[in-house]
């Protein structure tokens, strides 16, 4: 600490300690080595806009898949995140909504741009984990679940518009003292962790889409900065929210599947972008969620609507003993 302080003064070299290495969590797989989880995004509206109906169906599907955990792709609390640790929206939009037995598992969450409009540190606070021990939200972190390694990436700081276009909204940038340094360090950490990973399936989760034909479309900053890192490191899936829809797009240059699950509550925007539709397998702009099932040789992705009806399935298989 003292040395770091001295270095900061003399050389400004202390980023290594300001931006610590990505925190890791171990999550055991089932006895047979398989893993299953649900993916949900853009949800916290105190049950409104079919949030409760989606939650009910998640409970049902979660039960039948015997899920190990839930992944939240961000925009956890609308409209403007939480106002503080004691904001009752936490209970009203999370604890009291996802009440099914099968959903009483660990939730791993990233932050969305709407979360950055409130007290961003409230969502990261250990106090929320005490109020509801399912909750775990961090900016960027890694979950090692043996058969799969999941890399959670804080994508909001990548989007330049949030820093320049501040007339309509304000963002809580505590923790992001310098956008440039933050992104650079984060990419370095993600690249290192991905390159060292020996997991059968490598999954990256962020709030913003890399590829989307929905309302917001592709996130250019991620296409430019994050996508090459994923392509170079054998990532299988990139999962996100942000566009309030369900989508599956296959990368044209790599095996990466882009999966949008941002339909946890308000949806039905009705706009599908006519531009780049290459690799599009599913676009559904109503409410719903996604499930993921993995073992050493197979993966199965399924999308569901607000009635729990299957909209789309995608299977991939890998050789049992190959190293990548
Ligand atoms: C709830 O879901 C139904 C069925 O998809 C849909 O018709 C309805 O518009 C949705 N309600 C809201 C408020 O989004
Ligand atoms: C993985 O799951 C598939 C389909 O559920 C099954 O056919 C296969 O035997 C499983 N493989 C292993 C290694 O458990
Ligand atoms: C994917 O695999 C599951 C078994 O794990 C099977 O039930 C399902 O029909 C398969 N889906 C497709 C589209 O092949």
Q: Are 150 and 113 in contact (CB under 8 A)?
A: no
For residue 209, give the nearest of 258, 163, 275, 271 by alpha carbon: 258
Mean of pLDDT over the chain: 93
pLDDT tens digits along 82-107: 999 999 999 999 999 999 999 999 99
Best mutation site among 46, 47, 50 for ligand 1 pocket (most ligand atoms within 8 Å of CB): 50
For residues 185, 189, 194, 199, the Cα torsion angle rounded to the nearest 10 degrees is -150
Bigger pLDDT: 165 or 86?
86
For the chain, list the domains and their CATH numbers. Answer: 4-316 (3.60.21.10)
**Residue 50 CB–ligand 1 contact under 6 Å:** yes
Residue 269 CA to ligand 3 center (angstroms) comes to 30
Residue 108, annotated ligand binder? no
Residue 264 CA to ligand 1 center (angstroms) comes to 12
Band (168; pLDDT cuts 50, 70, 90): confident
pLDDT higher than threshold 50 for residue 16? no
Q: Are 155 and 219 in contact (CB under 8 A)?
A: yes
Band (1; pLDDT cuts 50, 70, 90): very low
Q: Are 35 and 29 in contact (CB under 8 A)?
A: yes
For residue 307, give the nearest of 56, 38, 41 by alpha carbon: 56
Residue with CA closest to ligand 2 atom 5: 298
The whole-number pLDDT of residue 322 equals 54
Residue 239 neighbours by CB distance under 10 Å: 24
The whole-number pLDDT of residue 3 equals 43
* C-alpha separations of 257 from 60, 105, 213 in Å: 26, 26, 14
Residue 232 CA to ligand 1 center (angstroms) comes to 40
Q: Are 261 and 296 in contact (CB under 8 A)?
A: no
Residue 80 neighbours by CB distance under 10 Å: 17
Residue with CA closest to ligand 2 atom 6: 298
Which atom of ligand 2 approaches the CA of 296 most closely?
13
Instruction: Please give the Cα distance from 177 to 175 (Å, whole number).
Output: 6
The reported pTM is: 0.93
pLDDT tens digits along 225-259: 999 999 999 999 999 999 999 999 999 999 999 99
């Amino acid at each position: 600490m003292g040395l770091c302080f001295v270095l900061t003064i003399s050389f400004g070299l202390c980023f290594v300690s300001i931006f610590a290495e990505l925190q890791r969590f171990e999550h055991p797989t089932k006895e047979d080595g398989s893993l299953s989880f649900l993916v949900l995004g853009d949800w916290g509206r105190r049950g409104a806009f079919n949030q409760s109906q989606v939650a009910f169906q998640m409970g049902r599907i979660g039960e039948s898949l015997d899920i190990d955990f839930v992944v939240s792709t961000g925009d956890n609390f609308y409209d403007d995140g939480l106002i503080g640790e004691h904001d009752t929206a936490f209970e009203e939009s999370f604890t009291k909504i996802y009440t099914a037995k099968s959903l009483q598992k660990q939730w791993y969450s990233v932050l969305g741009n709407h979360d950055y409009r409130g007290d961003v540190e409230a969502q990261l606070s250990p106090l929320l984990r005490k109020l509801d021990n399912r909750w775990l939200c961090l900016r960027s972190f890694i979950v090692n679940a043996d058969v799969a390694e999941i890399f959670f990436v804080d994508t909001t700081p990548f989007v330049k518009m949030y820093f320049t276009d501040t007339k309509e909204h304000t963002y809580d940038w505590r923790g992001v003292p310098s956008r440039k340094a933050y992104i650079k360090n984060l990419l370095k950490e993600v690249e290192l962790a991905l390159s060292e990973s020996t997991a059968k399936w490598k999954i990256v989760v962020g709030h913003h889409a890399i590829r989307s034909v929905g309302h917001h479309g592709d996130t250019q900053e991620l296409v430019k900065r994050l996508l090459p890192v994923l392509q170079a490191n054998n990532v299988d899936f990139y999962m996100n929210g942000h566009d309030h829809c369900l989508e599956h797009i296959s990368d044209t240059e790599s095996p990466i599947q882009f999966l949008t699950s941002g339909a946890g509550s308000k949806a039905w925007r009705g706009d599908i972008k006519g531009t780049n539709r290459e690799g599009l397998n599913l676009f559904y702009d109503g409410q719903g969620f996604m499930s993921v099932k993995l073992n050493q040789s197979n993966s199965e992705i399924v999308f569901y609507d607000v009635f729990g009806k299957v909209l789309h399935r995608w299977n991939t298989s890998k050789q049992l003993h190959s190293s990548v």
